[in-house]
């Protein structure tokens, strides 16, 4: 069963490969490099992630399909 993309699940998958699908259907392998500390408010739990990928294939801002063998597929 695939896990959700919560902070703990991402930490468990640090330094593993994630697949990003670009708008022109290219697939890039990205390494999950870091997960920030958790900031909690009454309504939200916030954290950030940093992925590393090939320098010759920069990915601009936008929403992309992300896949991982242990996590559910999401648009991020």
pLDDT tens for each residue of 22-71: 989 999 999 999 999 988 899 988 999 999 999 999 898 999 999 999 99
User: What is the per-residue pLDDT for 4?
Assistant: 87
Question: What pLDDT does 1 receive?
Answer: 53
Which tokens go with 6? 């919560």
Burial 15-38 (b: 16+ CB within 10 A, else e): eeebebeeeeeeebebebeebeee
Q: How far apart, in whole angstroms, are the C-alpha atoms of residue 68 and residue 76? A: 13
Tokens of 59: 């990915």
pTM of the model: 0.85
pLDDT at residue number 74 = 95
């Amino acid at each position: 069963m695939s896990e959700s993309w919560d902070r703990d699940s991402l930490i468990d998958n640090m330094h593993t490969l994630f697949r990003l699908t670009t708008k022109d259907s290219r697939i890039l392998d990205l390494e999950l490099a870091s997960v920030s500390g958790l900031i909690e408010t009454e309504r939200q739990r916030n954290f950030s992630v940093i992925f590393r990928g090939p320098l010759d294939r920069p990915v601009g801002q936008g929403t992309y399909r992300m896949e991982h063998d242990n996590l559910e597929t999401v648009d991020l």
